[in-house]
Amino acid sequence: MPLKTAARIALHQLGGLAVFRRLNRRKSAVLAFHSFSESTQTNVAALCEYLSRHFEILPLSDIADSLRNGTNLPDDALAVTIDDGYRNYLLYGHPIFKHHNIPTTLFAVSEFAAARLWLWPDQIEFALEHTAKTSIAVEFGNAGVTEFALKSPQQKAAASERLTEMLKVVPNRKRLEFMAQLGHICGVELPAIPPPQRAGMTWDELRAIAADGVEIGCHTATHPILTRLESGSDLRQEIQAAKQSLEENLGFPVRHFCYPNGKAPDFDDTVVSAVRGAGFASAVTCLWGLNSATADPLRIQRLPFDSALDFNYAVELLAGLHL
């Protein structure tokens, strides 16, 4: 039996995970979900049952307030967050979390909720899925020409992921210029609104889940990489104006922010200062980890969850492994 397999059995069946959870009990965990589907509902339900047994599940507001005010949280504190505001959360995620009395915070992209755009990584995935071309060549500034093979679904998926990552590190203006040409490059007509599996929740739907107990946060106006914006006015539009749009359309204060992509290169002191200046009580990142009592409420770390995540791996993450 491989050591890795034996070690996992020991962790799960002989109480090893409980030891790790106890070591981390004073740290708060914040889970980061994105998308849900009908096929993952059983997996999400099993996870919710586990969370309910082993953690003190709180609204994100409670964890944020504790970090801001220095007040104590219960041991094993945990909050659940959902990025982007896809409609599939309403259909396949929210009913399960509600059934288990688990509060959630959903970060909405204001222009996505207003149906004035669909998220740019989804547009790339759609264009490459539907193109009849067997390859495309792309050039970004001084990076030279990059050719992407598109002869199979696997090559298309790999090209989509690589192209998306490349666009995360170019100036936002360059990304917008490329996205304006994406349909032409791929020979694909991009729909004005996203297909159902990539659709966002409407204002009415966001108000409905808020009335049902879901906390709504801000995930910018258009989901750019904030450190790639070229001006302070662009930064204010994505943060302060997005907050104002959400509050005007939802009818209540929006206290929490989520940095798009959320890795170390994607937000800096200037971005954090803009978030603070807009009046947000907290901001979550995609820096993976648990949060001590002295963590910065505007740099909250999270655990990377997905509705299809392997259950054993998920509970190991919750214990503080793999970080």
Residue pLDDT, tens place only, 299-315: 999 999 998 899 988 98
> Residue 203: is its pLDDT beyond 60?
yes
> Residue 8: is its pLDDT beyond 70?
no
pLDDT band at 13 (very low <50, low <70, confident <90, very high): low
Q: Which residue has the tokens 């288990």?
A: 100
> Residue 1: is its pLDDT beyond 80?
no
pLDDT at 2: 44
> Residue 210: is its pLDDT beyond 70?
yes
Percent of the chain past pLDDT 70, that is, above it, reads: 94
pLDDT at 140: 77
> Residue 7: is its pLDDT beyond 70?
no
pLDDT band at 102 (very low <50, low <70, confident <90, very high): very high
In this structure, which amino acid lies at residue 189?
Answer: E
Q: What is the mean pLDDT of residues 221-231?
A: 97
> Residue 159: is its pLDDT beyond 60?
yes
Per the model's pLDDT, the better-predicted residue between 20 and 192 turns out to be: 192
Give the residues across from 200 on adjacent strands.
86
3-state secondary structure of 246: helix
Lowest average pLDDT, out of 79-88, 143-152, 161-170, goes to 143-152
Per the model's pLDDT, the better-predicted residue between 86 and 142 turns out to be: 86
pLDDT at 17: 75
The answer to whether residues 215 and 137 touch, using CB atoms and an 8 Å cutoff, is: no
> Residue 3: is its pLDDT beyond 50?
no
Q: Which of 203, 207, 215 is nearest to 282 (CA)?
A: 215
Name the helix (H) or strand (E) containing 69. Answer: helix 60-69
- Which token pair is 181? 């040409």
Q: What is the mean pLDDT of residues 188-204?
A: 94
The C-alpha atoms of residue 272 and residue 298 are separated, in whole angstroms, by: 7
pLDDT at 5: 63
pLDDT band at 15 (very low <50, low <70, confident <90, very high): low
In this predicted model, what pLDDT tens digit does every residue of 227-265 receive, in sequence order? Answer: 999 999 999 999 999 999 999 999 999 999 999 999 999
Q: What is the mean pLDDT of residues 51-64?
A: 96
> Residue 6: is its pLDDT beyond 80?
no
pLDDT at 22: 82
The mean pLDDT value of the chain amounts to 93
- Which token pair is 124? 């790339």
Q: Which of 284, 165, 161, 144 is nearest to 220 (CA)?
A: 284
